[in-house]
Structure 1
Amino acid sequence: MGEFDATLGTLIIGIFFNTYLYGLVTYQFAAYCSRKFNDPIHIRAMVWSLFILDTFHSGAAIYMAWSYTVTNYDNPAALAVAEWPYTFTPIGTAAAALVTQLFLGYRIWRLSGSDFLYAVVVVLAIPSFALGMACGIKAWMIQVLSELPQLNNLVSAWLAMQVSIDVFITVTLTIIFVRSKTGYHKTDTVLNRLIRGAIQTGLFAVVFSLGDLVSFLALPTTNLYGMFAIPIGRIYTNTLFDTLLTRDRLKSQMAGTYERKSANEVNWTGASTARNVSNIQLEVNRETTTDAIQLEVHKTVFTERSSFEGDGKTMVL
């Protein structure tokens, strides 16, 4: 191995991958803006805030790469000092994680109606955010990379809590979607897509958080943990943006299976017998009234009703 492979090399790989993920974030942001979802102002503010945060952090990471590889090309001692974008990483990651986790927790509440499940997410997410902020502030105060192991306990608590939240959210969403299956092919296809999305995005964040934690504890004299730490914030933003944009993909999957009743309501009759009539209703809302189907996180409703049993089940996506 070269002299700087484990320090500068791993850091540059992390910055490259972060830049790639930022490209995906930019594409998703542009797609969100172009589709003109009729989301409430707090959702739009959340999208803009995360995009601005990711732009700032990704630009700062590129500046850090320039500083280490160009400005200090003939000054290897510079690698011993953490540039400010490095110490900002826990802060940016904690902020992106908090917004995404609270949003997904709210989604769990809308899907399940359980105040307890949402409270669990909030109770875990806010202390995790505080720990991430503390890690960033203390790292900025220390600055010398060789002294960062002083933060082992703080970093371990932060990342362990972050992983636990991501696992809880992923498992909870998966269980909710599995239990919501109706037996209708089109509806179950959409639910299977939601299940895969919940698992894939949650697993991605968990793997990088665990990689960051293990490398920070096991190889503190290298920058291997930076390779995992820098992109984590973009992973959370990608997760949230993908959740919002999935509404259009779900609309495409459900297209052609409905009978339109009005500008914002369509029905699909799945089965009918003498004793049991089941309907799937998709209630939607969007600025563009020409679309047959619209999906909106805070308005989309799947309803399964049984005229024989006289009960119903509602699931908000």
Structure 2
Amino acid sequence: MGTFDATVGVLLLGLLDFKDAYWVRCIVYVLFVVVTAHSAVSMYAAWKLCIVNFAKPESLEVIGWTLPFTAIATSVTALLTQTFLAHRVYILTKGTYCVAVIGVSSLLSFIFGIYTGTRAGVIQKMMGLARLSPFAACWLGFQTFTDLLISVRLIYAFARSRTGHRNTDTMVNRLIRGAVQTGFLVSVFALADLFSFLLHRNTYLYAMFTYPLGCIYTTTLLDTLNSRIELKTMSNNARGFDGRVE
């Protein structure tokens, strides 16, 4: 939590420096609240599982409310992060069709995620989660598709921006690296979460990927915003005293 709070502090300074739109600030503040709450819930889940219910294997048959809350929190963080990144795709490409596909896919993922988490909270029994397999597959499938589509479009847009100048291309390569990180890591965890749930739904193996997924989305957004400070410094260093790019 200390590292996350420090990162948010740097981010808030960056928001003030770049004078971001009000909706961007709202996304950051909402994510801060959601991820802080989710971190507290995760610590409570670990305490209850490892201390309160230690040596009580029968308690594992009931999933409780922490995993359903995690699914809902992850769906919210994914929707907000993907909304911000979809806006970036639109600014860079002006491709309304692609952004529309991203929006629909992200919204469907959000709906299936909320439904999966809510139904899991109602079912409660570990053995009853099998009926949620199609909804979980749709949730994580649409989520992964959205992340990969955003990354591909950003990488393509940045790659076309290369000019042949070393300083400029260094900045472009930094943006491409960020775009790869945006989709790759969350996609790996989402797919691991999906397959572990489908293949080992009678265990808690999928929880290893479910709990950190929402934080990965938030970190992705924080890195995207905070990297502007680095890019601004690189841009200033790439300019001569007369304002021309060297």
Considering the TM-score relative to the shorter chain, is it more than 0.5? Answer: yes
Alignment check: 8 A CA contact 1:24 1:238 kept? no
Q: Structure 2 residue aligned with 1:73, among 44, 54, 57? A: 54
Q: 2:20 maps to which residue?
A: 39
Percent sequence identity over matched residues? 38
Q: 1:149 and 2:125 equivalent?
A: no
**Distance (Å, rounded) in 2 between the aligned partners of 1:110 and 1:124:** 19
1:167-316 map, 5 Å: 167-259=148-240, 267-270=243-246
Alignment check: 8 A CA contact 1:109 1:118 kept? yes
Deviation at 1:24, TM superposition (A): 4.6
Deviation at 1:269, TM superposition (A): 3.9
Q: 1:158 and 2:139 equivalent?
A: yes
Which one has the largest radius of gyration?
Answer: 1
Deviation at 1:259, TM superposition (A): 4.4
**Larger strand percent:** 1
RMSD after superposition: 1.5
**Distance (Å, rounded) in 2 between the aligned partners of 1:269 and 1:87:** 52
What is the TM-score with the length of structure 2 in the denominator?
0.94
Alignment check: 8 A CA contact 2:24 2:84 kept? no
Equivalent residue of 1:28, what SS?
A: helix
Deviation at 1:76, TM superposition (A): 2.5
Alignment check: 8 A CA contact 1:174 1:198 kept? yes
Q: 1:106 and 2:82 equivalent?
A: no
Q: Structure 1 residue aligned with 2:107, among 117, 121, 126? A: 126
Alignment check: 8 A CA contact 1:208 1:228 kept? yes
Equivalent residue of 1:255, what SS?
A: helix
Deviation at 1:260, TM superposition (A): 6.2
Report how many aligned residue pairs link the two structures. 244
Q: Structure 2 residue aligned with 1:50, among 26, 31, 34? A: 31
Alignment check: 8 A CA contact 1:87 1:143 kept? no
Q: 1:72 to 1:269 in 2, by over 3 A?
A: closer
What is the TM-score with the length of structure 1 in the denominator?
0.74
Q: Which runs of 5+ in 1 are unaligned?
A: 1-21, 262-266, 271-317
**Distance (Å, rounded) in 2 between the aligned partners of 1:148 and 1:205:** 23
**Distance (Å, rounded) in 1 between the aligned partners of 2:106 and 2:241:** 41
